[in-house]
Chain A
């Protein structure tokens, strides 16, 4: 899928596609914020020109990312690499088919 993680000057990033029926709504947003809060590093989500905190459910909701939207997940800090790997997996489960 789109889960290849790349690194550029200490900033890790991955591209994720929203695949679930209702888009990034309350339930997946809660799950993403919940998982993101487990890490120390800064985690941000980018859609077009909007960039938000991946640890805030309200920020995630404010993206109003519908099905088919491509998101970039960015992370920097000590545990950024593990965070990205974990989050990419969370996104795949949460926003994958049938979620």
Chain B
């Protein structure tokens, strides 16, 4: 056993074995909170000014070294440069020194805390998090004040970089070819560290609890950025096992990316459409790079969140038309506004619902706010002439909602006809199947629409009556619960009997343990995160339909989750012994 194992969020997949190297460690020193005599005020202000000037020079030097392919991160250094000379930070700190007669360190600390307090009131989570940038910059100035050495220490050998948080400037100052991987205490999937690590293709784990307390400079560690673990002081056996795994993973990674443009077709010629789930037009490139064959789920709510007023029809139209054009002839399925529960709009009045997940969300919200709904539908219809566009309604619980939604769509069509604005009259209209009621009446629903998309994340939560973000019950989130497998099969069969297509979007579709079962049901398409596409395509390309059907029959014959999971694990593990070592499955939590 390793002496210690820490857990975090893997943001860039891979494994590295090496010595830990902390940057910014010395800054975690005592800050002198002292008052000074009036005669020393100018001296303290000078110290502050020159410390900030030094840091500014460092940023400028780092900025000049940013390679072309990382220009995006250069812009982050720009914002750090601006923070470094911001009146809110520097002028305010100088004023504090003068007015309160305190040390430069203490004044700087107070200024940061006062900015932090102001930022904590901001609704937009992305902007709220920018306080981290302020802290990073202030930290550097603090180091200079405290007489810290230059952080741009050259790495002597390849190291695993550890930090409280890591900025692009930190990273670029270091020699990148000597960085094996990153691990930080702060950060989540969308932090700069994560983005940077992925673009540099360096394994990384962020949000590691206990990192600073446990790891020392020079410790031998294994960063397992496949499962989000850090092993400190590993045993000989662990080192051997992880060296093998690292080698295998790197080869595997190379081969799946090479093959990601090949179709998702089984050995015996059964073709599955592999589409992507995205929420921003910016993600299109990643869809194409990973071999996505269209967008099966475009989450349109992003444009509505974190803003004071809902977007205009024109704005939405431009967004949708751009995506449609860039993807054509591939399909883009636009899911209409799905807000409520965990995704509340600023414009949405405070509903104060006791159970928002069971409240006014998805299509229910749209049917209550028809003007807004029609605005979006008009934008979608207008965009439909720019490519292969389909529309999809979320949270359908019964026939009436489908008809009401279609009624709104017809009103918009008439308006466009009258105004002589072109649209595709045959634009496919589909619904999400994510409520147990929709499952049970899927046969009748199939008569009303052109396609189904099964949203497994919500279907699992509503069927099993659990919130998987709730740690007390998340263990009940079981994708292969017999009720779920049977529900999905029931919907797929109903769709096919009615002659319409059915796809599965949701994490189940990107889980290597689940995909063969879905294929056994003969689903037509999956829609998954772009990064998951190469791996899932690779599995599909190695199976044949008969074995998928057999696995499905086996699964359906078992009545308990544990039996099903055991059966699936045995079968899949026998079939894909190497590959599955690299995937974390939804089934893993059952262990």
- Partner-B contacts on A (CB < 8 A): 21-23, 25-27, 29-31, 33-34, 37, 53, 55-59, 61-62, 64, 66-69
Contact = CB atoms under 8 A, between A and B. Distances in A.
Given A58-B89, A69-B308, A27 B79 contact: yes
A56 B119 CA distance: 14
Contacts, number: 77
Interface in B306-340: 306-309, 311-312, 315
B124 interface: yes
Contacts of B280: 21
A68 B311 contact: yes
Nearest to B282: A21
B134 interface: yes
Nearest to B77: A30
B306 A66 contact: yes
B536 to A, nearest CB: 28
Nearest to B124: A64
Interface string B265-303: 000000000000000111000000000000000000001
B115 interface: yes
B127 A67 contact: no
Contacts of A34: 78, 82
Contacts of A25: 126-127
B31 interface: no
A59 B87 CA distance: 9
A26 B79 CA distance: 6
Contacts of A21: 280-282
A61 B130 contact: yes
A31 B85 CA distance: 13
A18 B19 CA distance: 47
B139 interface: no
Contacts of B308: 66, 68-69
B87 A53 contact: yes
Given A25-B127, A26-B79, A33 B311 contact: no
Contacts of A29: 79, 82
Contact of A22 (B86, B126, B133, B315): B126
Contacts of A30: 75, 78-79, 81-82
Nearest to B312: A68
B82 A64 contact: no
7 contacts: A26-B130, A56-B88, A57-B79, A58-B115, A59-B88, A67-B315, A68-B312
Interface string B61-85: 0000000000000011011011101
Top 8 nearest A-B pairs (CB, nearest first) are A66-B307, A30-B79, A57-B82, A58-B88, A26-B79, A30-B82, A64-B124, A27-B75
Most central of B123, B130, B311 by chain A CB within 10 Å? B130
A33 B88 CA distance: 12
A58 B89 CA distance: 8
Contacts of B75: 26-27, 30
A27 B87 contact: no
B307 A67 contact: yes
A34 B312 CA distance: 31
B559 interface: no
Given A26-B130, A68-B311, A69-B307, A58 B86 contact: yes
A57 B90 CA distance: 12
